[in-house]
């Protein structure tokens, strides 16, 4: 077992352990020089202070302890860390006392740094940025994830240009984590009942500034070899293992929350992988109260928030009913304990609750178990409403209850040394620890000289780093010394640098630039106004099409006339991503619209003065204006092949006719004034908006605060309000079929239509429904008008004449009468999807 306490540290150096275990060093680089001083080679190779401390010799430690300059700097850094942790932060300073006590953030992956490689792509990087921002802004949050013994694969390219995958083992002893301790100070373990056995899960703790991240680990000696492998690999291909991972994340994860953060009020599901937390939260509330399953669901649902990142329904995890049934019956007798039949449990994950053959959909469970659901961009909101329409089959698509909060990036994790210095001079050191409301004006005042110096210095450092990476790649492939030596002539820090890096798969169209290879070659080798291109990215191990796309780039970059102008850098990871977004002039993004839910890579270049050239998809669809970047495609409905041809031509047209001329248009001082004006506009207008500070502020104010208040209201006392809501739902469901809308009438009154109709409520109370006049959205005209309940119908039982007045700008036929549930304490249609339309 590794030494988690580092008892070999001299007393003078005890603070090193706290600094090394706090992952704040992944974004606050004030201690970098200290770690480099301890062991420069180890720091350069690992960027992991924890392994440096574990490997250091006692003699070196004694020498450092006797070095007053070193211990003085260590004390300064320890004091700075303490001040950071003890400061109240934006959350406590700005928001009222009614804010959530604690938020638990569940995610299948977290991309915090290469010392903790528990991510595969954008979802994990977003989750990592979220925790870092929560720390900076003082949000009371805990993260819940899994500890994988093999994270995502490492990529190498063989001599044939074909991607090779390796899966290096994650050694917990070398990772900056420690055992999570329970109230008895023992290593916390969670037991999960599985068919015929119990699964034991150890819990590890990673410290992300102020935020603890708890990681569940199935590699326990008391588990069977097969069960120890449940958390072996991120996104295991086997369906049963994937189900087990998601049971561990949701069910065991919520048990960790109940043990270590029992004051948690908000559960945030980052994608549907964690959706089983919905059922476990219900079960544990039932244990503490006399509520039924449905009543407890009404209570807990108010405190659940679901974020979907998926642009296509095929991306949701689905499991066969038989597989779910096998595990549902054994999860400590879940269905028996909570008093519901298995079909009722499975119905939570189905569009049609009565279809026993329909697979169990994790996103559906998350949606049904959360009072608030959001997508990750404005366009993705519309896409998500279409995807989740099956859950609300009689409701118009635009009323499907999915909102959006556009993603953002944790700026301190992505800015270069040069950009950080520039922003500090303009906005101060505390700029990313609060809401970014005033930053745009301060950055807009930066001079052209300062902007250009930042860009030139950043690009110089990037080119040197890229050459070193390329040298290592070529040496590993066994290329001759003369080819390795020629890397000194690869790339030029003084010419236009284009960057393209992402997962290589068909819908992202990574080879759109290769549609006209001859034209690209001319662009790159123009003697007067040349450009250069840096490419990186991985293909999924099973995606041969993606691997062939990589192979095309490798072949092009190997051509003698292009070797100094195109570079493919292997093993795209967080470190390489940081280098790329800090160094390139233009970031290129070419997905097929609307397959990118948001995309955050282009946001990361903003703070560094990079400019975006992208398809109008995801975040760029709402961010783009002509003064801050360039856009490809207009979103028309051409067929796929025609759109690819059109977009490829437009991409090269923009590069040749707009970007290259503007970059090389210099005044008498040698500065590209128009280019710098574009940098300033992008830097000042977009960086604050697409920072994770703005994203987190929106989550707090729009989601967490109202969710916490509603959860408290429903769960107060013995859950009386939740029980009343459940009784209201049951009453409506039992009586809804007897509702009836009679024949309506309409009359013209000046510029208005007056509608009236008899509504026969049957057993439904007047206050339990809302009668509405509905029309499809049309400009500024109202689409929903409440109808007033008028006189009772003579001789009718619980029946009334309802009426409303609507604008005659629309024909009368545009309006339809409908009846929907009404309750001040319920989210409609999220929590009750009943609706009755006039025939």
Q: What local confidence, expressed as pLDDT, does residue 334 receive? A: 84
Is 79 among the domain residues? yes
Question: Assign residue 209 a region: left if phi > 0, alpha if psi is -120 to 50, beta otherwise?
Answer: left
Which domain-ending residue is among 47, 62, 86?
Answer: 86
Is 362 among the domain residues? yes
What whole-number distance in Å separates Cα of residue 243 and Cα of residue 252?
13
Q: What local confidence, expressed as pLDDT, does residue 626 receive? A: 95
What whole-number distance in Å separates Cα of residue 600 and Cα of residue 325?
38
Q: What local confidence, expressed as pLDDT, does residue 781 receive? A: 77
HEC profile of 741-780: ECCCEEEEECCEEEEEEEEECCCCCHHHEEEEEECCCECC
Cross-strand partners of 118 = 110
| Helix and strand counts by DSSP (H, E) for the chain | 34, 31
Q: What local confidence, expressed as pLDDT, does residue 6 receive? A: 66
User: Does residue 541 share a domain with residue 496?
Assistant: yes
User: Which sign does the torsion angle of CA 517, 616, 686, 671 carry?
Assistant: positive
Is 276 among the domain residues? yes
Is 802 among the domain residues? yes
User: Which sign does the torsion angle of CA 343, 348, 354, 357 carry?
Assistant: negative
Compute CA 781 distance to the chain's CA centroid, rounded to the nearest angstrom.
Answer: 35
Q: What local confidence, expressed as pLDDT, does residue 4 receive? A: 53
Average pLDDT over residues 9-38: 94
User: Does residue 629 share a domain with residue 749?
Assistant: no
Q: What local confidence, expressed as pLDDT, does residue 266 receive? A: 97
What whole-number distance in Å separates Cα of residue 134 and Cα of residue 745?
56
User: Does residue 738 share a domain with residue 606?
Assistant: no
CATH, residue 781: 2.60.40
**Could you give the percent of the chain with pLDDT greater than 90?**
77
User: Does residue 764 share a domain with residue 632?
Assistant: no
Cross-strand partners of 198 = 193
Label residue 484 by pLDDT band (50, 70, 90).
Answer: confident
- C-beta separation of 10 from 62 below 8 A: yes
Q: What is the pLDDT of residues 186-225, one digit of tens each?
A: 999 999 998 888 999 999 999 999 999 999 999 999 999 9
User: Does residue 204 share a domain with residue 188?
Assistant: yes
Task: Identify the DSSP state of 163.
Answer: E
User: Does residue 679 share a domain with residue 603?
Assistant: yes
Average pLDDT over residues 796-824: 94
Is 77 among the domain residues? yes
Whole domain around residue 268: which residue ranges?
90-154+165-407+700-715
User: Does residue 458 share a domain with residue 561?
Assistant: yes
CA-wise closest residue to 138 among 534, 454, 370, 433: 433
Question: In Å, what is the CA distance from 431 to each residue of 437, 669, 697?
Answer: 10, 32, 14
Average pLDDT over residues 303-327: 91
Q: What is the pLDDT of residues 260-280, one digit of tens each?
A: 999 999 999 999 999 999 999
Q: Examine the pLDDT at 594 and tell me if it is beyond 90.
A: no
Q: What local confidence, expressed as pLDDT, does residue 2 receive? A: 46
Query: What does the chain come to in residues?
Result: 839
Q: What local confidence, expressed as pLDDT, does residue 1 receive? A: 41
CA-wise closest residue to 548 among 581, 525, 514: 514
Label residue 778 by pLDDT band (50, 70, 90).
Answer: confident
User: Does residue 120 share a domain with residue 31?
Assistant: no
Q: What is the pLDDT of residues 668-720, one digit of tens each?
A: 999 999 999 999 999 999 999 999 999 999 999 999 999 999 999 999 999 99
CATH, residue 399: 3.40.50.2000
- Enter the tokens of residue 91: 């959350």
Label residue 5 by pLDDT band (50, 70, 90).
Answer: low
CA-wise closest residue to 415 among 801, 29, 8: 29
SS3 at position 445: coil
Of 46-50, 243-247, 316-320, which range is least confident? 46-50
Is 423 among the domain residues? no
Is the peptide bond prior to 829 cis by the omega test (within 30 degrees of 0)? yes
HEC profile of 393-436: CCCCHHHCCCEECCCCECHHHHCCHHHHHHHHHHHCCCCCCCCC
Q: What is the pTM of this model?
A: 0.95
User: Does residue 353 share a domain with residue 224?
Assistant: yes
Is 419 among the domain residues? no
Read off φ and ψ for residue 605, nearest 5 degrees. Answer: -80, -20
User: Does residue 273 share a domain with residue 372?
Assistant: yes
Of 58-62, 275-279, 581-585, which range is least confident? 58-62
Label residue 235 by pLDDT band (50, 70, 90).
Answer: confident
User: Does residue 399 share a domain with residue 534?
Assistant: no
Number of domains in the chain: 4
Q: What local confidence, expressed as pLDDT, does residue 642 receive? A: 87
Q: What local confidence, expressed as pLDDT, does residue 779 receive? A: 79
What whole-number distance in Å separates Cα of residue 87 and Cα of residue 82?
8
Query: CB-based contacts of 85: which residues, under 8 Å, 6+ apart?
Result: 209, 210
Q: What local confidence, expressed as pLDDT, does residue 476 receive? A: 82
CA-wise closest residue to 339 among 279, 298, 299: 279
Label residue 256 by pLDDT band (50, 70, 90).
Answer: very high
User: Does residue 626 share a domain with residue 674?
Assistant: yes
What whole-number distance in Å separates Cα of residue 630 and Cα of residue 107?
33
Is 721 among the domain residues? no
Q: What local confidence, expressed as pLDDT, does residue 636 receive? A: 64
CA-wise closest residue to 126 among 603, 609, 610, 698: 603
Average pLDDT over residues 774-796: 89
Average pLDDT over the chain reads 92
Cross-strand partners of 200 = 191
- C-beta separation of 326 from 395 below 8 A: no
Q: What is the pLDDT of residues 440-474, one digit of tens each?
A: 777 788 899 999 999 999 999 999 999 999 998 88
């Amino acid at each position: 077992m590794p030494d988690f306490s580092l008892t070999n540290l001299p007393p003078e150096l005890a603070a090193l352990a706290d600094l090394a275990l706090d992952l704040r060093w992944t974004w606050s680089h004030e201690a970098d020089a200290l770690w480099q001083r301890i062991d420069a080679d180890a720091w350069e190779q690992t960027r992991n202070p924890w392994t440096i401390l574990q490997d250091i010799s006692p003699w070196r430690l004694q020498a450092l302890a006797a070095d007053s300059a070193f211990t003085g700097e260590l004390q300064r850094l320890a004091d700075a860390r303490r001040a950071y942790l003890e400061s109240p932060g934006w959350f406590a300073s700005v928001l009222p006392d009614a804010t959530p006590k604690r938020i638990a953030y569940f995610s299948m992956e977290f991309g915090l740094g290469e010392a903790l490689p528990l991510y595969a792509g954008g979802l994990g990087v977003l989750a990592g940025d979220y925790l870092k921002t929560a720390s900076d802004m003082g949000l009371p949050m805990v993260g819940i994830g899994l500890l994988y013994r093999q994270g995502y694969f490492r990529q190498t390219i063989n001599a044939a240009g074909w991607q090779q995958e390796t899966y290096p083992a994650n050694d917990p002893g070398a990772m900056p984590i420690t055992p999570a301790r329970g109230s008895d100070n023992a290593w916390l373990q969670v037991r999960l009942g599985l068919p015929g056995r119990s699964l034991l899960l150890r819990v590890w703790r990673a410290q992300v500034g102020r935020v603890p991240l708890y990681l569940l680990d199935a590699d326990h000696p008391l588990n069977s070899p097969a069960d120890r492998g449940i958390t072996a690999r991120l996104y295991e291909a086997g369906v049963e293992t994937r189900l087990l991972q998601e049971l561990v994340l949701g069910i065991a994860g919520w048990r960790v929350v109940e043990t270590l953060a029992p004051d948690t009020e908000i559960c945030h599901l980052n994608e549907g992988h964690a959706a089983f937390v919905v059922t476990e939260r219900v079960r544990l509330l039932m244990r503490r109260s006399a509520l039924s399953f449905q009543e407890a669901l009404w209570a807990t649902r108010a405190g659940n928030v679901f974020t979907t990142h998926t642009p296509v329904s095929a991306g949701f995890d689905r499991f066969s009913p038989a597989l779910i049934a096998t595990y549902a019956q054994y999860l400590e007798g879940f269905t028996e304990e909570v008093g519901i039949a298995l079909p009722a449990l499975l119905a939570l994950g189905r569009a049609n609750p009565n279809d026993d053959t329909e697979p169990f959909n994790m996103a559906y469970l998350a949606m049904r178990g959360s009072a608030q659901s959001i997508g990750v961009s404005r366009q993705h909101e519309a896409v998500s409403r279409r995807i989740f329409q099956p859950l609300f089959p009689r409701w118009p698509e635009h009323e499907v209850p999915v909102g959006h909060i556009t993603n953002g990036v944790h700026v301190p994790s992505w800015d270069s040394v040069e950009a950080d210095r520039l922003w500090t001079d303009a906005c101060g050191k505390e700029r990313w620890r609060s809401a970014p409301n005033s930053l745009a004006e301060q950055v807009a005042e930066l001079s052209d000289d300062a902007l250009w110096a930042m860009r030139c210095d950043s690009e110089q450092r990037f080119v040197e780093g890229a050459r070193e990476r390329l040298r290592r790649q070529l040496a590993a492939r066994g290329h001759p010394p003369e080819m390795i030596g020629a890397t000194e002539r690869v790339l030029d820090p003084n010419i236009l640098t284009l960057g393209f890096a992402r997962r290589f798969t068909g819908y992202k169209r990574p080879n759109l630039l290769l549609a006209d290879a001859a034209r690209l070659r001319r662009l790159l080798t123009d003697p007067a106004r040349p450009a250069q291109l840096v490419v990186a990215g991985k293909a999924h191990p099973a995606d041969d099409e993606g691997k062939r796309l990589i192979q095309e780039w490798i072949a092009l970059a190997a051509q003698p006339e292009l070797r100094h102008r195109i570079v493919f850098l292997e093993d795209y990871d967080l470190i390489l991503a940081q280098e790329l977004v800090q160094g390139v002039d233009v970031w290129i993004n070419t997905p097929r619209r609307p397959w990118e839910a948001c995309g955050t890579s282009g946001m990361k270049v903003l703070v560094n003065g990079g400019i975006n050239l992208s398809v109008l998809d995801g975040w760029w669809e709402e961010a783009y204006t002509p003064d801050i970047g360039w856009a490809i495609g207009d979103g028309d409905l051409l067929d796929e092949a025609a759109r690819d041809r059109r977009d490829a031509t437009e991409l090269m047209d923009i590069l040749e006719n707009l970007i290259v001329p503007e970059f090389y248009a210099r005044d008498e001082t040698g500065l590209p004034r128009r280019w710098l004006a574009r940098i300033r506009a992008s830097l000042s207008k977009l960086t604050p908006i697409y920072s994770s500070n703005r994203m987190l502020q929106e989550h707090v104010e729009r989601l967490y605060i109202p969710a916490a208040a509603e959860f408290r209201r429903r769960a107060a006392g013995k859950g009386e309000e939740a029980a009343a809501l459940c009784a209201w739902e049951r009453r409506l469901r039992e009586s809804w079929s007897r509702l009836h809308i009679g024949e309506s009438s309409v009359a013209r009154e000046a510029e208005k239509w007056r509608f009236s109709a008899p509504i026969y409520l049957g057993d439904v109370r007047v206050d339990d429904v809302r009668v509405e006049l509905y029309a499809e959205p049309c400009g500024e005209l109202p689409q929903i008008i409440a109808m007033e309940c008028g006189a009772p119908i003579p001789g009718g039982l619980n029946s009334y004449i309802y009426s409303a007045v609507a604008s005659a700008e629309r024909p009368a036929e545009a309006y339809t009468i409908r009846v929907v549930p009404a309750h001040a304490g319920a989210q409609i249609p999220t929590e009750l999807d009943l609706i009755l339309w006039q025939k």
